[in-house]
Amino acid sequence: MKFGFFVDPDTTRFAGLRLRRLKEALKDPRVGEALVEELQVTGASGKNKLPAVERRIEELRASKSSLWFEVPAPEILAASIFHAKPLASVVDELWKRVARVQDLAAPLATWLNLAGLTPHTGPTPATGRANILGYRGGGVIAAMRVVDIEATNDPSELARSLDEMKSAKRHTSASYIACTPALVAEYLWARTATAPRWEPDALASRLRAAGLGLLVLEGDAVAQAILPQERKPDKIKLTEVAKAILADK
């Protein structure tokens, strides 16, 4: 499988999975076996099943009736690995699945602290939908800044968050959705129930259209996968948000 020489393996993602992790996964014989079954590969023999898998992927990419028509091959690989039932435990580790949305709180708080913002958990008036906020008071050099984050661990909840955050009047400097790579893949698979073909950019395009950023959490690591649209909110509203945050301390 060719991934390109100038592709960054740590920032390039397919079905939510970093390219570096995808390459590591393909070295596991269990992955090759599972892909043969998942993609209904014929003519696979020997220990290395990947050449037959690659040929099957090219067939699927060329078929207009296929879910995978014209979808990049690495995206098909990653999505198929995620969907393969025999790989459930492998997938949980690769895509860094978490049991509860609360498991995302501590890494996000650390990320906000490193960004020079004080984390605040819980809803605050005038922010719209958000469950984590980052606050920095204004000064001579830096202006006041409030960042709101909606952390989620459920694909249907993610869809609702996108709808509500897109339509809401935001009174913060920037807004993010935060989730695991597993939730990205789950969201994309959920869309196949109504979409005729796999849409690799379905989540990214909706986020960008709404001006939202994306934070992807892998254990304690937080990656800024999509940058948010920066806003200059009304100073009065921003001050109201800041006062509400300080009042809860």
User: pTM here?
Assistant: 0.89
Residues 67 and 112 in one domain: no
Residues 129 and 232 in one domain: yes
User: What whole-number distance in Å separates Cα of residue 91 and Cα of residue 186?
Assistant: 12
Arithmetic mean of pLDDT, 190-212: 94
User: What's the Cα-to-Cα distance from 184 to each of 88, 103, 181, rounded to whole Å?
Assistant: 16, 16, 5
Residues 147 and 55 in one domain: no
In this structure, of 2-11, 164-173, 203-212, the range with the lowest mean pLDDT score is 164-173
Note the pLDDT of residue 242.
67
Domain C-terminal end among 45, 70, 94: 94
Note the pLDDT of residue 43.
79
Does some domain include residue 3?
A: no
Does residue 216 or residue 165 have the better pLDDT?
216
Does some domain include residue 156?
A: yes
Give rounded-to-5 percent helix, strand, coil for the chain.
Answer: 45, 15, 40
Residues 86 and 105 in one domain: no
Strands (DSSP E) contained in the chain are 13-14, 17-18, 118-121, 132-136, 145-151, 174-179, 213-218, 221-226
User: In total, how many domains does the chain have?
Assistant: 2
Note the pLDDT of residue 140.
55
Residue 166 has phi, psi (to 5 degrees) of -70, -40
Residue 71 has phi, psi (to 5 degrees) of -80, 135
Does some domain include residue 4?
A: no
Range of the domain at 190: 101-247
Residues 155 and 79 in one domain: no
> Which residue type, as a one-letter code, is found at position 163?
D
Residues 45 and 117 in one domain: no
Note the pLDDT of residue 231.
85
CATH code of the domain in which 163 resides: 3.40.1350
Arithmetic mean of pLDDT, 87-113: 95
Confidence band, pLDDT 50/70/90 cuts, at residue 162? confident
Note the pLDDT of residue 129.
55
Does some domain include residue 63?
A: yes
Arithmetic mean of pLDDT, 61-80: 97
Arithmetic mean of pLDDT, 205-229: 95
Percentage of the residues of the chain whose pLDDT score is greater than 70: 86
Residues 23 and 108 in one domain: no
Residue 40 has phi, psi (to 5 degrees) of 55, 55
Residues 89 and 109 in one domain: no
Residues 170 and 144 in one domain: yes
User: What whole-number distance in Å separates Cα of residue 95 and Cα of residue 92?
Assistant: 6
Does some domain include residue 64?
A: yes
